[in-house]
Amino acid sequence: MLTKRIIPCLDVKDGRVVKGVNFVDLRDAGDPVECGIAYDKAGADELVFLDITASSDRRNIVADMVRKVAETVFIPFTVGGGIRSVEDFRAILREGADKIAVNSAAIDDPYLISRAADKFGSQCVVVAIDARRRRVGKAADPSLSYSESIKINDEWQPKDGWTIYKNGGRLDMNIDAIEWAKRCEELGAGEILLTSMDADGTKAGYDNELTRMVAENVGIPVIASGGAGTKEHFYDTLTYGKADAALAASLFHFKELEIKEVKEYLAAKDVPVRL
């Protein structure tokens, strides 16, 4: 079994690390450069930096901040937010990022994934998927695939599952999350960063059903995001959820758990981690 990764996430707004619940009610969690240094020293396997309002504000990511973080950390560093073109990929990779995460731009132009993968390699292309559960009642036929519909009250509706959102969780695209993840892989994505909007910031546990469904339908690594609250939650998503990595934010930002503590717990449960 490949080594599982623990990844802190820096959600950045107006130059500060922030964290909320269900994508709203944001709290300040510190300076991104200082946070990056601390996580590098704390034993994080990778670091994710997301400028959470760059896409919705239709502006470019803050390049100088990316450069400052990259200069101070020595672990793989993924950057996302406001990336719209292959040139944006090039610019941020040049500032020191190892991987680029795209969400809204990939939804608007799926072939951006292919163009970036052709230019820089699939290993540099991470597709971030923000997904929220949809429910259409108990009439769903479990034999149907996620791409099929069912008839409820004489109306055709999508089967119970998850749909994807863009612009920082503001706009429902009415696209099935499982089908979108499969397409992203086909287009050349090297990794999926999968966030459950329902679980985000709740500390009630990852959406392991969602994570497992995506992991079982793609052949590329899946990073579970949204909902970490205990050491057990990491174990559950890395085992039952079949995630290759687990991402967390507020839990680490506010020192409720240390990365070393999580890794030692996982190692004791025979989950392969880098200690």
The residues annotated as belonging to the active site are 11, 130
Maximum Cα–Cα distance across the chain: 59
Return the ∠ at Cα 247 (arms to 203 and 39), rounded to 5°. 105
Strand partners, 152: 155
Contact yes or no for 177/162 (Cβ under 8 A): yes
Per the listing, tokens 């990779």 go with 93
- How many Cβ atoms sit within 10 Å of the Cβ of residue 7? 24
Contact yes or no for 4/246 (Cβ under 8 A): yes
Residue 161 CB burial class (10 angstroms; 0-12, 13-18, ≥19)? buried
Strand partners, 157: 150
- How many Cβ atoms sit within 10 Å of the Cβ of residue 272? 12
Give me the phi and psi of 97, to 5 degrees please: -70, 150
CA dist 140 and 162 (Å) reads 14
CA dist 105 and 93 (Å) reads 17
